[in-house]
A and B are shown apart, each in its own frame.
Chain A
Amino acid sequence: MLAKRIIACLDVRDRSVVKGVRFQSLERAGDPAELARRYNVEGIDEIVILDVTATVESRRAIAATVSAVAREIFIPLAVGGGIRSLDDAAAVIEAGADKVSINTAAIERPALIGEIAARYGSQAVVVAIDAKRQGGRFAVHVRSGRDAAGREAEEWAREAAERGAGEILLTSMDRDGTRAGFDCELTSAVARAVPIPVIASGGAGSFDDFVEVFTSGAADAALAASVFHYAESDVNALKQHLRARGIPVRI
């Protein structure tokens, strides 16, 4: 049976992992390769590296981080943050990433999805969507959540899938960093709208939050950052908890 995936997100700035309250403050949490190695040993299913600084200067730095992490783990590795072109995608894939995550650049120029998929395959393209509840809708935001994109999460996700995205990485801006649980309404709305896997992100706190997002949230995978970095949560304990509740996981 296909397992639900637990994915660790490393928000990286200046070669160091920072705490994942991505839309607000940042604190240092450790060396990316070391954290990746620990998560791999603990049984994580995938790693996502998010380049939080995403400036022109950080492009070279992120490739070095990607290579360092790729050397340590033999599970899928996705990289995102400031990827704006096929060349940016090529650089991180050549550095060792299996998938690239594109957000702002995909909405601004949706053809980019198909371009990366044509060169590397759809399985290499993750379209990341940041959404905030606004007037009964799930409004997509870009540029690290700063600007409203004028799109709704379900319909943009559908377009992204049609253009060749392999997966959707869906972040609830309302829940991100709060540890108050995933936004399961948002997640299930998008999961039911697209024929491709949806990775839920934003709000992971307790083990039961993961149970909920895989059941009423209909997510195929769940991503968490700060809840894992400080060794408060153990991936294996989480998976045992999920398995005990009938959720298929890779143990």
Chain B
Amino acid sequence: MIALVDYGAGNLASVCKALAVAGTEARIARDPGELADASGVIVPGVGHFQATAAIDDAWREGIVDRLGNGRPLFGICLGMQWLFEGSAEAPDQPGLGVLAGICTRLAGADESGVPLKVPHVGWNLITRCRQSRLLEGVPDTAYVYFTHSYAAPVTPETVAATVYGETFASAVERGQVWGVQFHPEKSGEAGLQILRNFVGFAESG
């Protein structure tokens, strides 16, 4: 069973509901002990990066242990940012660090300097950069729903990118670790397909 980490930052109910439609029942884990036999782990979250301080050493140990057992990990929105080394939003709060780079605030202006609103809210396009099992069945460009002010840099682990003034990583993959900046549970059919793909990773092996 897939475990959703409840560290107090975000609406897990809508992720659970979407996972149910994607074909699986998920368990909301309120403490690290509940990760013990999880087939996969999802770290959700919305809000300020500082909130990830609640993913303490015990949680990290549990999450890393599952990864060590070949179980897939999926970070959503704040959860994806947490996979990186950290975020300029809370410089003293380290992320998990499985992905290199620091998240930074969206500049809020396009190439010609025309101001853009921050947070980035609404439907924007993700464009596939390279093959990824997470995006199987999703068109090369697809609209998904974003709501965030900070974003992850484009690195070799980026599998899809989005343009909002600047280009940032909207989906990432490294081994058994995946992440999306947008909300797959709020992104219609494209989002449900991504969740189905993750469910598939958790069910295999």
Which residues of A are in contact with B by a Cβ distance under 8 Å?
1-5, 40, 45, 70-71, 74-76, 93-94, 96, 98, 120-124, 166-167, 195-197, 220-221, 250
Q: Which of the candidate stretches B10-18, B28-36, B130-138 sits at the interface with the other chain?
A: B10-18
| B residues near A123, Cβ cutoff 8 Å | 46, 119, 121, 147
- Closest CB-CB distance, B1 to chain A, in whole Å? 21
Question: Please, could you name 30 A-B residue pairs with CB atoms under 8 Å apart, sorted by A?
Answer: A1-B124, A2-B116, A2-B120, A2-B123, A2-B124, A4-B122, A5-B123, A45-B123, A70-B17, A74-B18, A74-B192, A75-B188, A76-B145, A76-B186, A93-B11, A94-B13, A96-B13, A96-B17, A98-B186, A121-B10, A122-B47, A123-B119, A123-B121, A124-B11, A166-B119, A167-B121, A195-B118, A197-B117, A197-B122, A220-B121
Contact-residue size bin, chain B (C-beta under 8 Å from the other chain): 20 to 34
Residue of A nearest to B125 (CB): A1
Which 10 A-B pairs give the minimum distances between C-beta atoms? A250-B143, A121-B47, A123-B147, A250-B123, A121-B46, A3-B123, A2-B124, A197-B121, A76-B186, A5-B122
Are B124 and A3 touching (Cβ within 8 A)? yes
Residues of B whose CB lies within 8 Å of any CB of A are 9-11, 13-14, 17-18, 21, 46-47, 116-125, 143, 145, 147, 163-164, 185-189, 191-192
Q: Is the CB of B122 within 8 A of A220?
A: yes
Interface centre among B118, B123, B187 (most CB of A within 10 A): B123
The answer to whether B188 and A74 touch across the interface, beta carbons within 8 angstroms, is yes
When the two chains form their complex, are residues A74 and B46 in contact, meaning their CB atoms are under 8 A apart? no
Residue of B nearest to A43 (CB): B188
Taking CB atoms, residues of chain B closer than 8 Å to A120 are 11, 46
Find chain A residues with CB under 8 A from B116 CB. 2
Distance between Cα atoms of A45 and B185 in the complex (Å):
13
**Most interface-central of B120, B186, B191 (chain A CB within 10 A):** B186
The smallest beta-carbon distance between A241 and chain B, in angstroms, is 18
**How distant is B201 from chain A, measured CB to nearest CB, in Å?**
20
